[in-house]
Amino acid sequence: MAARIHIHLVSDSTGETLESVARASLARFEGVDAVKHFWPLVRSKGHMDRVLDDIASNPGLVIFTLATGEVRNHLETRTEALGLPAVSAIDPVVAGLAMMLGKAATAKPGRQHKLDDAYFARVEAINYTMAHDDGQMAENWNEADILLVGVSRTSKTPTSIYLANRGYKTANYPLVPTRDPPPHMFQLKKPFIVGLTTTPQRLVEVRRNRLLSLAQAPDTTYVDNERVKAEVLNARRLFADQGWPVIDVTRKAIEETAAAVINLMNEALPSGEAGGPSPSA
């Protein structure tokens, strides 16, 4: 049976960092049934008291990102009295930065979410990406940082949205057997174009599940084995003819695919040029 544990994620901000840390750490252990208790925007002792009541009722590991001293001290004092481990998710990194920079860190919760130029650029990237999903508004592709191309159900849309949240304007285009890609796709200069592919077997499985979720009969040409094999083969030929890098998304998480896209884009940059979203994105 799986080992059952409680994990309390306590943050004075949105808690995104804690979610990522907990997910990555739990992935290192097999057979663990983790019950997560998520506590974002904890910025007062009164709120912390309510959190501590739940921690006392469901003892387990406490992971926190708390910038303010009083609230943090309250948590550490009470968890120590309860005999429970309380771990700061970012203290080692902050300490390393303080040593390198020669100055102390500020104690302002949620500072990473300030409404600066980078924040609004990220919003712009998300808006662009949503408007250019599934081949829409192809005439504006030269404004994109990235263009993802692939047959249906190769995770183009979720990967695009994830990249947009990283600040990259991302468009995507579905390759359809009965339709030729727009000619200007092959003359684009700005966007970094990446082909997404998967195994025919996996594609049939994903498509069949999609049809079932829509209450449609799973016996159309959309999931025909030979047709799907031909689709994947033709897509690979197109990618090779155009010299586009290819990522096989079979069994890959969206985060892994997006990271691979960014790595490929950075590798394609001229030597010495920094990677990252364009200033306009």
Annotated binding site for ADP: 150-157
Strands of 146-151's sheet in order across: 170-175, 146-151, 192-197, 246-248
H or E element, residue 134:
none
Nearest Cα to Cα of residue 68 among 54, 37, 47, 96: 47
Q: Which amino acid is at 236?
A: R
What is the DSSP secondary-structure string of 78-126? HHHHHT--EEESSHHHHHHHHHHHTSPPP--TTGGG--SHHHHHHHHHH
Tell me the binding residues. Answer: 150-157
Torsion on CA atoms 39, 41, 47, 50, rounded to nearest 10: -10
